[in-house]
Amino acid sequence: MGLQIHKVYDPQGWCCVSIITVVWLYNTLFVPKLILYPHYEEEHIPAVVIVLYYLVSFCCVTSLVRASIADPGQLPQNPELSYSESQHWEACNKCNKLRPKRSHHCSRCGHCVRKMDHHCPWINNCVGEDNHWLFLLLCFYTEFLSFLTLIFNFCQYYYLQPLTKVNEHLW
């Protein structure tokens, strides 16, 4: 299977990837600075919580990059097929290439993709046979990072003790 670098030149896709990167950077820089580090300094939370947050954040951005640049299963230019295999292939209406039955043509990418699920603007790539598991991994880590951020924000306002340094500056 191997991960080959795949680039799509789509302005809308690059805009979506940029938005995701900015949101990730905001969460990675400000959630620990505003919530985790102050409570760690006052010994309300252990260091493992901060390490876990950064680990999940790193996994999230790594899976984003891998899903964005992985080849989704683009078909070769001239596949060599035996007669029995060619019975299960058909010609694409748009690019006139031979493709397997469950392949689809992506109008954004301009080529056919094996077992194409959809073209995702958030990764600026098609989700197909070769990168489907990377897309699911990205969804999992993004959901887990969002869940951690939600829990930390909830704990900040309803569970953790008030910060003494903040209270000293207010009086």
**CA within 13 Å, CB half, 50:** 17
Please tell me which residue in 60, 109, 112, 120 is annotated as part of the active site: 120
Q: Do 15 and 133 touch, CB atoms closer than 8 A?
A: no
DSSP 162: P
**125 beta partners:** 120
- CA pair distance 148, 101, nearest whole angstrom: 41
Examine the residue annotation and report whether 92 is marked as an active-site residue of this protein.
no
Report in angstroms the alpha-carbon separations of 98 from 62, 70, 86, 93.
34, 22, 9, 10
Catalytic residues: 120
